[in-house]
Structure 1
Amino acid sequence: MNINGASKQIKPEEVSSHILTKLKKSAEEVVRQPIRNIVLTVPAYFDEYQKGATIQAAEMAGLNVLELISEPSAAAYAYGYDQKQDSNDNLLIFDLGGGTLDVVIVEVKNGIFNVLTIGGDTQLGGRDFDNALMDYVADIIEKKYKKKISGNVRIMQKLMKECIDLKHMLSSANETR
């Protein structure tokens, strides 16, 4: 990174600590009391080094990490909290993010959550669906109008925006034809 013409290397932990510091300050304004102890979520695919770096970033931001849990596990806990009932279920948490896919299977017995397995794909996410949809629509347009558009950056950018907008619209629709 260049700062005032001087080259400076910044570690990812430093960037994360600045973000966590900002989030801490925002949360403290809402709850009107200091925040020190936290439970922090990380992507399911994080290895031990990445988890350690995340804890280090939190400590740099003045936070004490009580527990580190995977993002899909956090979704399962939120689901259980929202249900407010003691049920015996197996939950499949499917977290398709922009660039990754996380899957967690959680067993719930008498309100106790037990993560059975975590998996996923760090190379599969919503952007892959965006690209596939754009390629599909471009192929239809090229066949219908017998004109190649896939080499035109401007047209493909516009098509990508339209495909993303369509995907979002379909994602929030209750039904479609």
Structure 2
Amino acid sequence: MNKKQFISIAITIALLSLAWIIFTPVLFPIVHTDALQTAPHRGFFAPSFSLTTPQGDLYTLADYQGSPVLIIFWASWCSVCKSILPGLEAVYRDYAPQGFAILAVNTTNQDNLSEAKAYFQSQAYTFTMLLDLDGAVANAYQMRAFPTSFLVDSNGKISDVIIGSGLTEGFLRVQLESLFTQGED
């Protein structure tokens, strides 16, 4: 390649780059919308919701104002969910007398209702199972993986978000001790 060809190619690349910089905002405008929302995370108030149990009892998140609550989104086909729920039962039994609650929100729109109910009953869990029949609550929490858990403090703020298998019995106990200690201050 001679010097003239090199200069010609360099100028062409420079002109194409300049054109790309100038026309990108025209071809790909920035979209501003109120519909975009930030996923709930630590320090945010937990989105409110009302859901029913398999028996038809209505529960709302506001029912738990003043007490810490764990909201866990799960499905009966999720092996990780099934592996962490027994540890949650042990923590629930120990901390329920202090006001702690667990709301196991079954993402029923992505699950089989009869299998979910059968699994939950077969394990004899004593915390509350709720049905997100249309996925609206999972969408409000921008749930993208199973399980996803939100630990909400007594003021309704999210103190932690745990995705996947990180929600262990020991981890939850440490978090609850911290929340209950903060509540005493």
Query: What is the TM-score with the length of structure 1 in the denominator?
Result: 0.26
Larger radius of gyration: 2
Higher relative contact order (CA 8 A, sep 6+): 2
